[in-house]
Every structure is written in structure tokens, then in C-alpha cells.
Copies of this chain bind each other. A is one copy, B any other.
Amino acid sequence: MPENVNRQWVLKSRPDGMPKESDLELIETPIPETRHGELLVKNLWMSIDPYMRGRLRDGPSYAEPVPIGGVLQGESVGRVVESKLEGFKSGDIVRGHIGWQEYGILDVTGAHTVDTSLGPISTSVGVLGMPGLTAYFGLLEVNRPQPGDTIVVSAASGAVGAIVGQIAKIMSCRVVGIAGSDEKVSYIVDELGFDAGINYKTQDVASAIEAACPNGVDGYFDNVGGEITEAVMPYFNLYARMAICGRISEYNEDTPSMGPRVMRFVHAKQAVVEGFLVFRWEDRYEEGRARLAQWVKNGQIKYLEDVVEGFENAPKAFIGQLGGANFGKLLIKVSDE
């Protein structure tokens, strides 16, 4: 057993707008005892995702909010330190919602064995995990691209967006990505093979979409919401399909901000706008993971990890992500062991 100290990031106060580091607190508690049917897991790689902003807000959502004083939630991949659960043994690599802490307890419903033959274990919370599966099912089941379609994706260099664009290329689509720096735009075009990229911080998104999508927009995979989305929708083609995966530009708003009414574009083009959460396809995760792993293995999908060393840096990394600072899949490297 390790030294009996478990560091945790807990919620000190509910953020008003963009979270501040002072909204969170780093505390030390004893490592929890492992009961029958449970695993004690040491956190190795912690995934940081924009959706976690929603868990810090009180009020109805698809998941319970983190209570004041509660450990922040999130998925990690870790190593079993002690097993009192049949089918698992000390040393196994598992994935699960350990939360923002160095050690956590998982049970049979929450512990998932990681197939370490598929790739480095960090990919089990990245390209072969929730972000990759979100891209896979959201694009294929909601956007439903056809060969030759023009697909636009926002937050295009992010953990989800970069995979969306590469799958759309595999599906023989024209792919246009929107990102927040010239470096990110170069990456998606030069490294990932997108047909065009738009820097929303320096370009007028509407005219850039018009130029990059001469045949209009057939599918829009939306990670950001707000103004960028409102700039894309006027270019919808007949029967365009928009998948709402995230709305990072709106996550810090308690009440909806104002924007131009966009339903006219949905109406005239008989478009479909559909929100989704990846859990809908939970019974098909193995299919998605296998196809993603194959594409990674044969080089059709590349992935980029944005690794922040040290558990203590998680809040800063999370706040940076909400402001668009990360570049690739954001991970906290909690421990080497």
C-alpha cells in the first residue's frame, strides 16, 4: 500500500462565469479503504473535458452537479492497487470515473479493463475513449455524411474535432475546420489533411465559410455554439445535418445569451439540428473502438495529446481549455507509475 495520502481537487464555490482557480481547493485525505466488490485505483492519466463545466453548475442537467466540497468528476485511466473485485487484479490497467484525485474506488459498474494492445494507455481516454467515440458516433449517426459532402467542424484541432474531420476524410468528404490559431489551422490542414481551415480569431467566419465551402455545407459538427455556429448555419444546403456535440462558448453562461434567431436557416433548407450525448451508443462502443483503433494503426487517424504534468496543475489546465488554450487532447499526467 502507498503512503496514506490522497490528494483531491474539490469544489469550494460555484463559479460565476469562467471558473477561477480559487473556486477549487486542493485537499489531502486518507486513501479510501477498499471494500468487497471494489477496486482501489491509482490515477495515471486524467482526462480534462469542456463538458465538466456543466457539472459545476447547480440545477437540472443530464448529470448530477458536483456538490460544494465534492471531488470534481472526470474520467481517468489508472492502475489497480488493490482488488476486491473478481476479474481484476493488482497491476491491471482500468478506465473509469475516478475523479480529480490521486486514488479512487471503482466497482463493477464503473471499472473498464483497458485493452493495452490497442495503443498507449492514455488513448483509452482519448482517441480510443470518450472523445474518439463521440466523434465516431456523432459524425456517422447524426451528421450521416455521404461521399462528396462538405462537412464543417468547429474546435477542429480539439480531442473530438480532429477525429471528426479525419473520419469525414475517410468517408470521402470535403472537410473544413474552424480553430482558434494559425498554428491549429496549419495542423488540421497540413498534418491531418483537412481541405481548409478557418482561424475564427483573425477571420470573418461567415465569409471564410463561404469561400471554403463553394458547394455549401451539408454537415456541421458543432463543438462551440454561439457566434461561430450562427455564422455557419446560413450556408446550409438542402437537408443539411447539424450535430450539437458541445457548446463551449456558452458553458460559462448561467442564462442564455442573445444571438440572431437561426431557425430560418433550419426551416428553409429543411435541415436537421440534433443534440447528442455519446452514451446513447454505449452498446456499440466496442464497434467504435475497434474501427478507431484500426484507423489509428493504419495511419488514417492521427492524434495529438496535450499533456500537462502534475495533478496540481489540473485547474489551470481546465480553465485554459475553456478559453481555447489547449491544443489536442488535454490530459493531466498524474503519475508515471
Question: Residues of A with Cβ closer than 8 Å to B?
Answer: 61-62, 222, 225-226, 229, 244, 246-247, 250, 255-264, 266-277, 280
Contacts and interface: CB of A to CB of B under 8 A. Distances in A.
A226 to B, nearest CB: 7
Given A269-B275, A272-B274, A280-B270, A244 B263 contact: yes
Nearest to A277: B270
A257 B256 contact: no
Number of copies: 2
A263 B257 contact: no
A260 B256 contact: yes
Nearest to A236: B275
A62 B268 contact: yes
B275 A271 contact: yes
Given A247-B263, A259-B261, A275 B280 contact: no
Contacts of A257: 260-261
Contacts of A250: 261, 263-264
Given A62-B268, A270-B280, A272-B274, A225 B256 contact: no
Given A61-B268, A267-B247, A276-B270, A260 B262 contact: no
A274 B222 CA distance: 16
A35 to B, nearest CB: 34
Contacts of A255: 260
Given A247-B264, A257-B260, 13 more contacts: A225-B261, A225-B263, A225-B264, A247-B267, A250-B264, A257-B261, A258-B258, A258-B260, A263-B275, A270-B277, A271-B274, A271-B275, A273-B273
